[in-house]
Structure 1
Amino acid sequence: MMSETFGHHPWTVSDLVAGVDSGRVRLPDIQRPFVWSNAKIRDLVDSMYRGFPVGQLMFWENADELHARSIGVDAKTQGASMQVIDGQQRLTSLYAVVKGVAVLREDYSEERVVISFNPLTERFAVPDNAIRRSSDWVHDIRAVFESPIDARSDYIEGLEQARGGERLERSAEREIEEAINRLNHVLAYGFQVVQLKPNVSRETVADIFVRINSEGVKLSSTDFILTWLSVFWEQGRQELEDFAKASRFTPQELTRIQGERVAWTPKNAFLTLDPGHVLRVVVAVGNKRAQLQDAYNALRGRDRRTRQIVPEERERQLALLKTGQAHVLKPHHWDEYLKVIERAGMRTSAMITSKNAVLFGYAIWLLGRVEFGVPVDELRELMARWYFMAQITARYSGSAETRGQEDINRLDALERTPAQFRDAITGQIETNLTDDWWRVTLPEDLHTSNTTGPAYTGYLAALTILDAEVLLSTLTVKDWLDPSRRPVKGVEKHHLFPKDYLKQRLGYTSTRQINQVANQALVEWSDNIDISSDAPNEYWTQQVDDKGMGEERLARQRWWHGLPDGWTDLTYEEFLDQRRRLLAEVTREGFRKLSDPNYRPSPAVVSAATAEAALPTFEQMVRTGTIPPGTYLIPTDGQTDSIAEVTEDGAILLDDVEYRSPDDAARADGAHEVDGWLYWSADLGGEATLAELRRRDQSPQASPE
């Protein structure tokens, strides 16, 4: 039975290289196409030089070129009869070293592999600058394989010149000659090749490949699916490879590389793709599978009960995959989806905290567009909110495939109408981004020093949505994050309580506490240098005076950057606690703008944006007698039955708790998105809002009541 499947045949390295060179031995596209590291290739040559075993090769006797491609980058003309099933990395490495051809690296760049050899010590090395300058080394062993006599002569001549023309002793020449001849003899190194016979089916070949590799380096479900695709739809596998490769280059770059005009590539500012990334979206859209192991079993047509392969089911699943892939790889779809990511406030790859959120987001966007028929402009806004939610809540940080399958199943159960899709996605967003999540969970998530985590990048995204400016600058955050025009030194994160101040004057030693995200704000580089290690109440006033930007603009910036009232006089812990809550509010405001096409800033934002220097604080109004201590405050228009009282030290007493500002007191009374100065009215022989009293107190013509 074995003889009907395979046989053992001897091949030397020379035979293998000649077979690859002629095209007789070719690489079927059922393996990962990237060669080993140069260090591993060096070890392979060293083992063969010393006569050590280096493993077997396995070929398939099959003349069908449709499922094969050449090793290296040059096209071969001869029809293939031997396709490499196992040992591709070794064979590719040997061919690259012996023939000097360029190979493709994992980033799709081309590289010529060079290994150096020292005949004096019989050592191999990946050449560095020191080796390239040294006469002790044959800098590229390819010279030995091409002509050992010339390589020996050139080496000895170079060695003698480096030694001042002194001729080598005969014994040394003999040792060098023996080492170089021994290296050349690597070409005669023999492999026992297992050759599968022509009658072996493609599925059997794929199964053998999977079994072999499962015993060595553990392959992923992605590898298994790509193997299966190479057997049953090689063109589809190549399309995935091509799409992933193109995502690394602009059309101009790829035109130069390929030597033919390329009009479009999927390159973007957010994610560099590999074939597995694209495959995940394809099976999610086409086969409704987020779990790739399940997708692999489904594509094979394997019956879960009998565990047998059902060819009809295999063909059905392949047809579904082809349909999904056609949608996924369509340039218009990809470009429209990228607008979703940008609309959600993302600008660079550094802001992408989860690749799976991008990939599953694309799958859901495609289902909404293709299966539910949601108009593209409406879909962009809806999915931008969904993506913002998915990233900031770290939706796919745990069991990504399980969560992805839940999301797919939820949509799969719906009637295919735009309204059904819209309601499902909106419901999912509202379920996750509740009022408690914004007020409690997000501030707690901001209790971190991780500036690349979901919470802080969500805040940055909100700043881009709000068109916020960098602190004490006219430059916008959106412009700073624009990947197409980032300066070498432009904007950086500044510690509002400077590091050295915290260490030297306040005694903080924990880097994690010093680098809390709530202690960092975006400022221009030159400002950061000027601020140095001064205390906040030392540098802030000076910086504000130097900028001369006006109170209205400064008030907006203080709100965008979450600076509490009187922040420079707060303790560090008080500052962090208050600023986390303010950053969460700003993030929520950004999401509000993202969610409402008729967005108007909330009263708190309007209040900050229209602040003026002459407006007094609540404490100042109490001190001047505009609002005497003991005055009762009640909610304007009777929103609640609460009664607050003004204290001697200029606070608002509500339910036995003192609040330093009308906004804080309003929030404590349940009014989270209103201006506290409008919320409270003072009983001074006639009701007037605190905002009205404040304006009167500001005006020199008004007399106090």
Structure 2
Amino acid sequence: MSTFQTPQYTITEMLKDASDGTLQLPDFQRPYRWDDERIRSLLVTVLRGHPMGVIMTLETGGENIRFKPRPLTGVQLETAAKEPELLLLDGQQRMTSMYQALTGDGIVETEDVRHHKLTRRYFIDVEKALGDARSQDEAVLSLPADGVIRENFNRDVRFDVSTPEKQQLEGLMPLSVLFDQQAAMPWLFGYMQAKKPDEDVDRTAVMQTFTTKILNPMQQYKIPAIQLKKDIGKDAVATVFEKVNTGGLPLDTFELLTATFAGDRAYFEETGKDFRLGEDWELTQKVIDDHRALHGIRNTDILMGISVLVTLEKRKADAAKGLTGKKLSQTSARREDILSMELRDYRRVAPLMRRALPAVARHLRSLHIHSSGDVPYRSQLIALAVFHVLLGERAEEHAVRARLNQWYWCGVLGEQYGATIETKISRDAEQVPGWALTESSELPDTVARATFAESRLGSLRTRQSAAYKGVYALLMAQERPTKDWMLDRELDFATYDELQVDIHHVFPKKWCNENGIEDWRRESIINKTPLSKSTNIRLSGDSPAVYMHRLDAKGLTPDQVDQQITTHAIDPAYLRAGDFDGYFEDRRARLVTIIETAMGKAVARDWDLDSEETDRPENFTEEFEDQEDADAS
């Protein structure tokens, strides 16, 4: 049995159905957003009689799905609660553009290609419309809403078709008039009777030809459609939304799931209303907004975590039944499994994820991750939230927290969460909680596979690198509190913003350039450390042998200054001597020790860098986690 039919609608029929609410949109659809040129091009397509593409509609009243409707943008329904007969699933931008441009006053709120707001009205040149393809393209004009083109900073009027009489004289018919069957012919009669001085156009012949070749065909222009029947399944509608575009932009996982949940019949029968995923997300967004380190988390990230928890429950239930191997459900954060999630499961698990987020923020604070810009991998935070859901209060226990920290640093320094994140989160959800509780002696894959090579310290040069951010945080997360060199204050959550802490060069860039230090060593994380803004200014561009004396003169004794500097895994003797080579070798060894402690495993000792190879310009391009963003949607 077919689940769809393929009718063709005239523009006139579609405009009427939109106007009286017979045709509406599902409420979750994205806002109207077409620009001026796309609207004009669409109207040229109709003028030429070329196909504009298929639209897709869904019959309402089915038992399987229910979507809350809303009128097309610009439609004012006399009865706000009117139930539509069809919902427009694909073609919103085209239909909204035509409705606004071809009905009422024809004024459209749009934008130019640079996204500057415009208010436009569209006209058709009745004489050019009868010409060839090029003339027809020029026949559709986009003008200011009042029909007046001004220049000289709006002081002078260059062109004016603000009244019907002026329009008829110029032969520019508003397209909204063309599609008004009661107004179109009177306007054309007015055009026929108007005449410019010295005009040699036979306006009567133009009017007759225009009526036959342009007006009637445009009013009867047909739009092909795929009309889904009301008894179609919920999964089929979700598939449709996944395949179609809205305004040229593919719907992401959150928007697709919004569509599925909005049509959940069981929820409507239980509550008498439709489920609004966007409203539920607002509750989560409020929690995220309260914690700076979480600000980068997106709705699609949260959906991945919820999917992992839901599918992990099913896997455990299967295991309890004695199922093994391929018969076990798969723990999954994949797009297709998110889209197949049942609303009842989402409603049960989403609040758990929401409540776990503040615990994740506290956890990050303990690791000296202070803001979203300091987070190495956004996706790893979702795994951490899943752990906090599964472990509950036990995640706060010292021994459990220590293992979670080890997992975290192995993921960051091993740079494992930049790709295939769905698999990482799913596998870690299965393995890490039991290991953290010492219920399993088998190392999670993220811990077992994590490696860090000593030579990587030489290539960590930009804050876009996850491992770079990780080492930066570790410098502040040492057991002995890290202190600012000049202010004798710990660099912690309370002081980080107040002191405007950031990562800065130890041997300043200016000094390195003047003393022939290779670029790769100058910019390596080995030559960086967290400092307050005021302290960094105090260093200026001088050798440490010079700026150390300035620090000594700021109220601390030289021994006290040295003590501050040792909290940064730096031997102050090398700074006082201005010995970059000695400093670099010593700091490298100290950072290796810190990394080994954090990861709970040995670092590969492969320090064998050729400065000519590592100093090439291409080695200084920023490293981006592009795969994470691609996988998340």
Smaller-chain TM-score bracket: 0.5 to 0.7
Residue in structure 2 matched with residue 473 of structure 1 by the alignment: 487
Change (3 A) 1:326 1:349: closer
1:3-14 aligned within 5 A: 5-12=4-11
Quick check: 1:60–1:197 contact (8 Å CA) kept in 2?
A: yes
Residue in structure 2 matched with residue 48 of structure 1 by the alignment: 42
One-letter identity of the residue aligned with 1:356: S
Change (3 A) 1:408 1:570: same
Deviations 1:166-203 (A, max 9, x none): 89799x96699545624765896763333223343434
Among 64, 78, 82, the residue aligned to 1:78: 82
1:418-497 aligned within 5 A: 422-423=437-438, 428=443, 432=447, 441=453, 444-445=456-457, 447-466=459-478, 467-479=481-493, 482=496, 485=497, 490-497=500-507
Quick check: 1:246–1:265 contact (8 Å CA) kept in 2?
A: no
Deviations 1:434-478 (A, max 9, x none): 9x96xx736734642023433332233334434422232334422
One-letter identity of the residue aligned with 1:407: D
Deviations 1:310-338 (A, max 9, x none): xxxxxxx7765554335324xx3332333
Q: Distance in 2 between matches of 1:384 and 1:241?
A: 33
Number of residue-to-residue matches in the alignment: 502
Residue in structure 2 matched with residue 361 of structure 1 by the alignment: 384
Among 569, 574, 591, the residue aligned to 1:567: 574
One-letter identity of the residue aligned with 1:400: I
Change (3 A) 1:555 1:326: same
Quick check: 2:367–2:473 contact (8 Å CA) kept in 1?
A: yes
Change (3 A) 1:6 1:72: closer
Matched, 1:324 2:349: yes
Deviations 1:405-427 (A, max 9, x none): 32233369x6xxxxx75115886
Residue in structure 1 matched with residue 315 of structure 2 by the alignment: none
One-letter identity of the residue aligned with 1:556: Q
Change (3 A) 1:164 1:196: closer
Q: Please give the secondary structure, in 2, of the residue aligned with 1:115.
A: strand
TM-score by length of 2: 0.64
Residue in structure 2 matched with residue 399 of structure 1 by the alignment: 420
CA drift at 1:401: 2.2
One-letter identity of the residue aligned with 2:4: T
Residue in structure 2 matched with residue 703 of structure 1 by the alignment: none
One-letter identity of the residue aligned with 1:533: G
1:218-297 aligned within 5 A: 228-232=260-264, 240-249=277-286, 268-288=292-312, 289-292=331-334, 295=337
Change (3 A) 1:555 1:176: farther
Matched, 1:34 2:27: no
User: Greater shift after overlay, 277-286 or 175-184?
Assistant: 175-184
Q: Distance in 1 between matches of 2:445 and 2:595?
A: 16
Residue in structure 1 matched with residue 531 of structure 2 by the alignment: 523
Change (3 A) 1:366 1:445: farther
TM-score by length of 1: 0.58
One-letter identity of the residue aligned with 2:551: V
Q: Please give the secondary structure, in 2, of the residue aligned with 1:345.
A: coil
Structure 1 residues not aligned, in runs of 5+: 101-111, 117-123, 133-138, 146-150, 251-263, 301-316, 415-419, 593-705
Deviations 1:656-690 (A, max 9, x none): xxxxxxxxxxxxxxxxxxxxxxxxxxxxxxxxxxx
Residue in structure 2 matched with residue 374 of structure 1 by the alignment: 394
CA drift at 1:278: 1.7
One-letter identity of the residue aligned with 1:285: L
Change (3 A) 1:275 1:125: closer
Residue in structure 2 matched with residue 194 of structure 1 by the alignment: 226
One-letter identity of the residue aligned with 1:422: L
Among 498, 518, 522, the residue aligned to 2:508: 498
CA drift at 1:397: 2.3
Q: Distance in 2 between matches of 1:551 and 1:425?
A: 50
Q: Distance in 2 between matches of 1:386 and 1:461?
A: 15
Q: Distance in 1 between matches of 2:158 and 2:167?
A: 16
Deviations 1:145-178 (A, max 9, x none): 9xxxxx98944485699465789799x9669954
Q: Distance in 2 between matches of 1:549 and 1:174?
A: 83
Change (3 A) 1:142 1:245: farther
CA drift at 1:524: 3.4
1:555-634 aligned within 5 A: 555-568=562-575, 569=577, 572-586=580-594
Q: Distance in 2 between matches of 1:557 and 1:430?
A: 38
Residue in structure 1 matched with residue 207 of structure 2 by the alignment: none
Q: Please give the secondary structure, in 2, of the residue aligned with 1:51.
A: helix
Change (3 A) 1:432 1:54: same
Change (3 A) 1:47 1:475: farther
Q: Distance in 2 between matches of 1:217 and 1:444?
A: 39
CA drift at 1:351: 1.3
Q: Please give the secondary structure, in 2, of the residue aligned with 1:333.
A: helix
Change (3 A) 1:445 1:422: farther
1:46-125 aligned within 5 A: 46-51=40-45, 53-63=51-61, 66-70=66-70, 76-91=80-95, 114-115=109-110
One-letter identity of the residue aligned with 2:110: I
Quick check: 1:283–1:295 contact (8 Å CA) kept in 2?
A: yes
Q: Distance in 1 between matches of 2:487 and 2:353?
A: 42
CA drift at 1:356: 1.5
Quick check: 2:4–2:226 contact (8 Å CA) kept in 1?
A: no
One-letter identity of the residue aligned with 1:404: I
Q: Distance in 1 between matches of 2:56 and 2:222?
A: 14
Q: Please give the secondary structure, in 2, of the residue aligned with 1:84.
A: strand
Quick check: 1:26–1:68 contact (8 Å CA) kept in 2?
A: no
One-letter identity of the residue aligned with 2:359: E
Q: Distance in 2 between matches of 1:430 and 1:6?
A: 51
Q: Distance in 1 between matches of 2:395 and 2:504?
A: 43
Q: Distance in 2 between matches of 1:479 and 1:375?
A: 21
Q: Distance in 2 between matches of 1:11 and 1:560?
A: 76
Whose radius of gyration is greater, 1 or 2? 1
Deviations 1:491-517 (A, max 9, x none): 443322222222233264x4x443222
Q: Distance in 1 between matches of 2:144 and 2:347?
A: 57
